[in-house]
Amino acid sequence: MTAPADLFHLWVYLAASPLLWLTVTIGVYLMAQQASVLSGNNPLVNPVLISIVTIVLLLIVTKTDYRVYFAGAQFVHFTLGPATVALGVPLYRNRALVRSAALPIIAALLVGAPTAMLSAVWIASAFGAPMTLKLALIPKSVTAGIAMGIARQIGGDPTLTAVFVIATGIIGAIMVTPLMNLLGIRDYAARGFAAGLAAHGIGTARAFQVDDVAGAFAGLAMALNGLMTAVAAPLILALIRP
């Protein structure tokens, strides 16, 4: 039988290897993805949420510093760029449908992007939130890299924005399917566009779970909303700042 001291030394050895946390991250996500499949892709069984909670608990239990974890898992972070570019493949496959829906897409973007920014700010204002919090909320519906850059430019806290971005994505991914069903919206293009616009990459991942067309439109919405938010955020700032 292996002594506890031997297990401790083994853990110390493994923890020093960058491959450990990369393997843990991939393994945890694959298990979370399998749990989602077994549930019939139930929106409540969200792989991203399960993975985040599981890895955070592992870091707490093993008393692992986040910088140590990220040193191993940063390859996953690196792949976000190529993965985002790869979203262009299903979009290209559905290019005829996108062209035919050009006007509704533009209309949805012009209404949805400002609504995503202003609604959160107005709710925060109603609860008496400080300006720092409101500035961090403005870009919450775009992907983290863009959102943190926008927050920095308008004087918000990028770290706080990152938290709001993740929360928005997870909540949006959980809510989008039951909400669309409740509203009677059956068009997968419309469902996907709404998911990508409101819940960025996590919402897009959820859309791909449901339908390829929904995923393509979600990826398009995520990209367009990032651009729209970058342009509109200074205008929103001028509107809410005394």
- Whole-number pLDDT of residue 196: 92
Query: Could you tell me if 90 and 127 lie in one domain?
Result: yes
**Residue pair 22/76 in contact by the 8 Å Cβ criterion:** yes
Overall domain count for the chain: 2
Number of other residues whose CB lies within 10 A of the CB of residue 27: 12
Query: Could you tell me if 99 and 202 lie in one domain?
Result: yes
Query: Could you tell me if 126 and 189 lie in one domain?
Result: yes
**Residue pair 142/158 in contact by the 8 Å Cβ criterion:** no
Query: Could you tell me if 101 and 220 lie in one domain?
Result: yes
Number of other residues whose CB lies within 10 A of the CB of residue 204: 30
Res 17 pLDDT > 80: no
At residue 3, what are phi and psi to the nearest 5 degrees? -70, 150
Of the residues 78, 113, 142, the one at which a domain ends: 78
Of the residues 78, 111, 131, the one at which a domain ends: 78
Query: Could you tell me if 91 and 68 lie in one domain?
Result: no
Judged on CB neighbours under 10 Å (0-12, 13-18, 19+), 3 is: exposed
Query: Could you tell me if 100 and 46 lie in one domain?
Result: no
Of the residues 40, 56, 78, the one at which a domain ends: 78
pTM > 0.95: no
Res 14 pLDDT > 80: no
CA 24 from chain center: how many Å?
Answer: 20
How sure is the predictor about 95, in pLDDT bands with cuts at 50, 70 and 90?
confident
Rounded CA gap, 32 and 46, in Å?
Answer: 8
Tens-digit pLDDT profile for residues 195-236: 999 998 888 888 888 888 999 999 999 989 999 999 999 888
Rounded CA gap, 120 and 141, in Å?
Answer: 10
- Whole-number pLDDT of residue 7: 55
Query: Could you tell me if 51 and 126 lie in one domain?
Result: no
Query: Could you tell me if 121 and 152 lie in one domain?
Result: yes
Judged on CB neighbours under 10 Å (0-12, 13-18, 19+), 73 is: buried
How sure is the predictor about 1, in pLDDT bands with cuts at 50, 70 and 90?
very low
At residue 184, what are phi and psi to the nearest 5 degrees? 75, 25
Range of the domain at 207: 85-240
Rounded CA gap, 102 and 26, in Å?
Answer: 37
Query: Could you tell me if 175 and 100 lie in one domain?
Result: yes
Rounded CA gap, 62 and 69, in Å?
Answer: 11
Most confident of 9-23, 80-94, 149-163: 149-163
Query: Could you tell me if 73 and 160 lie in one domain?
Result: no
Res 19 pLDDT > 80: no
Query: Could you tell me if 103 and 161 lie in one domain?
Result: yes
Res 3 pLDDT > 80: no
Query: Could you tell me if 18 and 54 lie in one domain?
Result: yes
